[in-house]
Amino acid sequence: MQMLAKIILSMCLFPMLSLQQSWAGELQKEIDHLIEFINHSECIFIRNGREHNPEEASRHILRKYDYFKAKIRTTEQFIELCATKSTMSNRFYEIACRGKLKIKSKDWLLGELRRFRSQSRRSYLKNASNTH
């Protein structure tokens, strides 16, 4: 009887673990995309009044990600904790892109996240309609 209970419990938990792995995979995919987006931008990142190139900015954000990783459950939390403002000075990070007004990094990254998710949904729907 105890063996049957273990089998039933594992059958119930397996789908939950699979769902959690899927969620974690999506989270990491979105975070990886945002880091690549930063790396390939031609924008200047302003942190505590100092200008940084995209590579420096992404390295800094990744260091903060390593520190906050255990607290991050959503990509929005990643942006909030790692790419929004200085934890020391509380000053917001800004982005200066050629020919555009300066913008808070949080707004810039949330805009890219919305675009990425929209594009991902369109690709998913397109692939799903091609299989039927």
**CA 131 – CA 123 distance, rounded (Å):** 13
Answer yes or no: pTM beyond 0.85: no
Q: Which two tokens stand for residue 50?
A: 């100092």
Phi, psi for 92 (deg, rounded to 5): -70, 145
Q: Which two tokens stand for residue 9?
A: 């419990």
- Whether residue 78 contacts residue 58, with contact meaning beta carbons closer than 8 Å, is answered with no
Q: Give the closest residue to 44 by CA, choosing from 107, 101, 112.
A: 101
Look at residue 9 and tell me whether its pLDDT is greater than 50. no
- Whether residue 75 contacts residue 65, with contact meaning beta carbons closer than 8 Å, is answered with no
Q: Tens of pLDDT along 89-114?
A: 999 999 999 999 999 999 999 999 99
**Which pLDDT score, from 0 to 100, does residue 29 have?**
97
